[in-house]
Structure 1
């Protein structure tokens, strides 16, 4: 029997309601939203609006916010960063970031913007928060942070960062890829300018869904322009949200699936948290290096290495010999591996979902123990 522990990449196991909701859209009764006044178009429009309201409820977002749908958090982050940052602007980010933040920033740097990176400690990956003030300069316009590292599972001190941005008048952009649906996020104070999320991880929605919950007055320009279904003679993309960030046809089947998964998630009781147990047992395995800060709240993402073995070899053995799916390598977060000292071989990442069982965790522990004993 296969064991799936690569949930930080995507949650393979979804609630049954997701497939049911997506199948319903494909019955032939739903058209493109805002592309006509007929029943098919209106049906599609209602699906999208229901989803926006569901996302706002999840994040406790008030009337100051709007939700725009994209394909994933990567697109959302590109839309926000490239739509907000101009030549001469400065951004503060961290060593935790995924390439969905870093690569847009490198592109913006080539166009005249600049950015600085807050470093983190070796092995624990703990952020050096004092560096935020050190990196601040008159040109600083925004801070972009990963809410939780997809390598270590470390959780950002979001309140601290929000207060820092408020004090210095900075836009705060949060990558909630690893936390949306898992860690409560409250937008009611209005201190987060844009919360970028993906549907296919801990929201348990289908791949190819995601979006951004952003302040309506955020001075953002569209990166992608095209049809909007309303102002066809305008030479520019309409300024109104969500149209500003939703050129073309949105993914109504995927959005319906995402709505169903969010509704399921919000009704679900808290499941058994296996992370603490897993960490305690990991510490008993001789020859295992565990990366991350376990003194603070975190998500159930664990990076390990066995002695001097390549992470790819260990991950392959876990699959070939034990049918345990894990993720080796660098997890699209190169600066995090530079900080951890794992740039030479990466790490083996094991990550849980609400469907992960104690029996599966015990099997993974036994497999790691056996491999470490070789």
Structure 2
């Protein structure tokens, strides 16, 4: 087990103790199917799921909790939003910073439904120009998809400004909040977000296998999963009521109980304080790493707003080898490679090399950041000495 964990952009760890406690209590006391029975255990399970839905609605400024659909992760939520909304011949706008969870469903629809896609090109820091976004709308544009924050660079996009453009053009906005849910303030009503996809296992501090999608009451998605819901069972079609319409099959009640506990913890600490803490740690990390010879930090400059991600490359070194050394020699866990965002690496100019990504979380500390900086000083010094020996 790593001594220092800097892979929170993939899954947050550790979790608050309350998360595991809630999951165990659910399994022991509410192990029945929610919404499928009238006995006391089933009712208890239903209440757990509804509490989680209500907490998520409060966190994201959503008026009706039933507009939140629970999924197995953000990828499932994005697939439901994209495949359930986009029709034959539609035009979709997205960005060069998107995760494969957005790009692959869209490219699938390009092949199967003749969907047209415009990828807005970000600058080297991962920022998208609002003016260029405004120029991309067409009469056939129906959807604008945007990652709230890059999982490679940590860049935060101007969602409210994109939402205003969408309203002006009669287009719906889908936001991928994989890197911001729980760590950056989000209010769908105030910011004009029509659909919000979020994972439970990252900033919300819940377990893996949880996530969700907010769907505006103005949108009726075509379900991509059909089956039992416990409601309108006599009908051959999926129920028309939410959230049942989009939640076929037995839900991950135990995971949802843990997610509810994670959200409670965040609301107690406040998203604003969590974001400030993570930002300060990334600034400290960037200050230390930028002075190391042969190491280049990617993304926003020091002092700019971003999520808790610091990605970097080392001259004449393979990113995976760096990550391996950090794990085996220093017991520091980071992520290396292409982070499921090839478009992001094209934008950053790291397609040939990939990058090392260190991502802080709620439980990260100043001492841990200093350990990473010291480790990278030693590693980079070793590569520099190897280069001298070869010459």
- TM-score, normalization by structure 2: 0.93
TM alignment of 1:88-237, pairs within 5 A: 88-111=89-112, 112-122=114-124, 124-189=125-190, 191-237=192-238
Alpha-carbon distance in structure 2 between the residues aligned to 1:372 and 1:116: 39
Corresponding residue of 1:333 = 341
Look up the SS of the partner of 1:26 in the other structure.
helix
Cα separation, partners in 2 of 1:190 and 1:236, compared to 1, 3 Å = farther
Q: For 1:1-43, what per-residue CA distance to the aligned partner results, in whole angstroms no more than 9, with x for missing partners?
A: 6111000000120000000000001115441111122112111
Moved over 3 A (4+): none
Corresponding residue of 1:282 = 289
Look up the SS of the partner of 1:274 in the other structure.
helix
Corresponding residue of 1:46 = 47
Alpha-carbon distance in structure 2 between the residues aligned to 1:40 and 1:65: 22
Q: Any conservation in 2 of the 1:4–1:326 contact (CA below 8 Å)?
A: yes
Q: Any conservation in 2 of the 1:153–1:302 contact (CA below 8 Å)?
A: yes
Q: Decide which structure has greater helix share.
A: 2
Cα separation, partners in 2 of 1:70 and 1:64, compared to 1, 3 Å = closer
Cα separation, partners in 2 of 1:6 and 1:190, compared to 1, 3 Å = closer
RMSD between superposed Cα atoms in Å: 1.4
Cα separation, partners in 2 of 1:371 and 1:222, compared to 1, 3 Å = same
Corresponding residue of 1:260 = 261
Corresponding residue of 2:33 = 32
Pick from 287, 290, 297 the counterpart of residue 305 of structure 2: 297
TM-aligned CA deviation for residue 92 of structure 1: 0.2
TM-aligned CA deviation for residue 66 of structure 1: 1.1
Q: Any conservation in 1 of the 2:160–2:191 contact (CA below 8 Å)?
A: no
Alpha-carbon distance in structure 1 between the residues aligned to 2:163 and 2:30: 44
Q: Any conservation in 2 of the 1:282–1:365 contact (CA below 8 Å)?
A: yes
Deviates more, 1:57-66 or 1:302-311: 57-66
TM-aligned CA deviation for residue 128 of structure 1: 3.3
The answer for unaligned runs of 5 or more in structure 1 is none
Aligned: 1:322 with 2:330: yes
TM-aligned CA deviation for residue 228 of structure 1: 1.0
Cα separation, partners in 2 of 1:159 and 1:296, compared to 1, 3 Å = farther
Q: For 1:47-105, what per-residue CA distance to the aligned partner results, in whole angstroms no more than 9, with x for missing partners?
A: 11111100000011113971110000000000010000011111000011100000100
Corresponding residue of 2:13 = 12
- TM-score, normalization by structure 1: 0.97
Corresponding residue of 1:308 = 316
The answer for unaligned runs of 5 or more in structure 2 is 383-391
Q: For 1:148-183, what per-residue CA distance to the aligned partner results, in whole angstroms no more than 9, with x for missing partners?
A: 000000001112111111111110000001000000
Alpha-carbon distance in structure 2 between the residues aligned to 1:29 and 1:127: 46
Alpha-carbon distance in structure 2 between the residues aligned to 1:29 and 1:95: 44
